[in-house]
Amino acid sequence: MFNTLNEKLTAVFKGMRKQIRISEENIQDALKQVRIALLEADVNFKVVKRFIENVREKALGEAVLKSLTPDQVFIKIVHDELVNVLGGDDAAAKINLNSKPPTIIMMAGLQGAGKTTTSGKLARFFMKSGKSVLLVAADVYRPAAIDQLEILGRQIKADVYTDRSTKDVVKIASDALAYAKKTAKDLMIIDTAGRLHIDETLMDELVRTKDAVNPDEILFVADAMTGQDAVTVAKTFNDKLNATGIILTKMDGDARGGAALSIKEVTGKPLKFIAIGEKLEDFEQFYPDRMASRILGMGDIVSLVERAQDAIDPDEADDLASKIQKKGMDFEDMLKQFKMIKRMGSLESIMRLIPGLSAAGPMNVDDRQIKRIEAIIQSMTPHERKNAKILNSSRKKRIARGSGSSVNEINKLCTQLEQMNKMMKRMKQKLGSGKDLSKMN
Confirm or deny that 87 is annotated as ligand binding: no
Q: Is 113 annotated as a binding-site member?
A: yes
| Residue 112 in marked binding region | yes
The edge-to-edge listing of strands for the beta sheet with 187-192 is 159-161, 133-138, 187-192, 103-108, 217-223, 245-249, 271-275, 283-285
Q: Residue 258 interacts with ligand GDP (CB under 6 A)?
A: no
Using rule CB under 6 A, residue 250 touches ligand GDP: yes
Is 111 one of the binding residues for ligand GDP (CB under 6 A)?
A: yes
Select the residue interacting with ligand GDP from 252, 284, 300, 409 (CB under 6 A).
252
Tell me if 112 contacts ligand GDP by CB under 6 A: yes
Determine whether the annotation assigns residue 258 to a binding site.
Answer: no
Q: Which is nearer to ligand GDP, 59 or 152 (CB)?
A: 152
**Residue 305: CB minimum distance to ligand GDP, A:** 33
Check binding of 109 to ligand GDP (CB under 6 A): yes
Question: Does residue 276 touch ligand GDP according to CB under 6 A?
Answer: yes
Residue-wise over 234-257: b if at least 16 C-beta within 10 A, else e? bbebbebbebbbbbbbbbeebebb
Q: Which is closer to ligand GDP, CB of 283 or CB of 331? A: 283
Give the interface size with ligand GDP as a residue count (CB under 6 A). Answer: 19
Indicate which single residue of 26, 44, 103, 117 sits in contact with ligand GDP (rule: CB under 6 A).
117
Residue-wise DSSP of 152-164: HHHHHT-EEE--T
Q: Which residues contact 356 (CB under 8 A, 6 or more apart)?
A: none
Q: Annotate each residue in 194-223 with x if it binds ligand GDP (CB under 6 A) or - if it does not, as one string.
A: x-----------------------------
Taking the least distance from each CB to ligand GDP, the nearer of 282 and 418 is 282
- Check binding of 69 to ligand GDP (CB under 6 A): no
Contact 188, 137 (CB under 8 A): no
Q: Is 253 in the site for ligand GDP (CB under 6 A)?
A: yes
DSSP assignment of 201-241, as one string? HHHHHHHHHHHHH--SEEEEEEEGGGTHHHHHHHHHHHHHH
Does 162 interact with ligand GDP (rule: CB under 6 A)?
no
- Residue 28 annotated in ligand binding: no
CB neighbours of 72 closer than 8 A, spacing ≥ 6? 301, 305
Q: Taking CB under 6 A as the rule, does residue 257 contact ligand GDP?
A: no
Q: Using the rule CB under 6 A, is 277 a contact of ligand GDP?
A: yes
DSSP for 96-154, written as a single string? ---SSSPEEEEEE--TTSSHHHHHHHHHHHHHTTT--EEEEEE-TTSHHHHHHHHHHHH
Q: What is the 3-state secondary structure (H, E, C) of 320-341?
A: HHHHHHHHCCCHHHHHHHHHHH
438: DSSP letter: G
Nearer to ligand GDP, 224 or 295 (CB): 224
Residue 157's Cβ-count burial label (10 Å; 0-12, 13-18, 19+) is: exposed
Does position 143 interact with ligand GDP (CB under 6 A)? The reply is: no
- Do strands 245-249 and 217-223 pair parallel, antiparallel, or not at all (unpaired)? parallel
Q: Is 50 helix (H, G, I), strand (E, B) or coil?
A: helix
Tell me whether residue 280 or residue 420 sits nearer to ligand GDP (CB atom). 280
CB of 282 to ligand GDP, least distance (A): 6
Shortest Å, Cβ 56 to ligand GDP = 35
The span of 1-9, 249-257, 330-338, 339-347 binding ligand GDP (CB under 6 A) equals: 249-257
Residue 116 near ligand GDP by CB under 6 A = yes
Residue among 190, 160, 187, 182 at smallest CA distance from 98 = 187
Where does residue 369 rank: exposed (0-12), middle (13-18), buried (19+ CB within 10 A)? exposed
Q: How many CB atoms lie within 10 A of CB 281?
A: 11
> Among residues 115 and 264, whose Cβ is nearest to ligand GDP?
115
Among the residue ranges 209-217, 271-279, 360-368, 430-438, the one whose residues contact ligand GDP (CB under 6 A) = 271-279
Q: What are the binding residues?
A: 109-116, 191-195, 249-252
Q: Which residues contribute to the site for ligand GDP (CB under 6 A)? A: 109, 111-117, 145, 194, 249-250, 252-253, 275-278, 282
Annotated binding site for GTP: 109-116, 191-195, 249-252
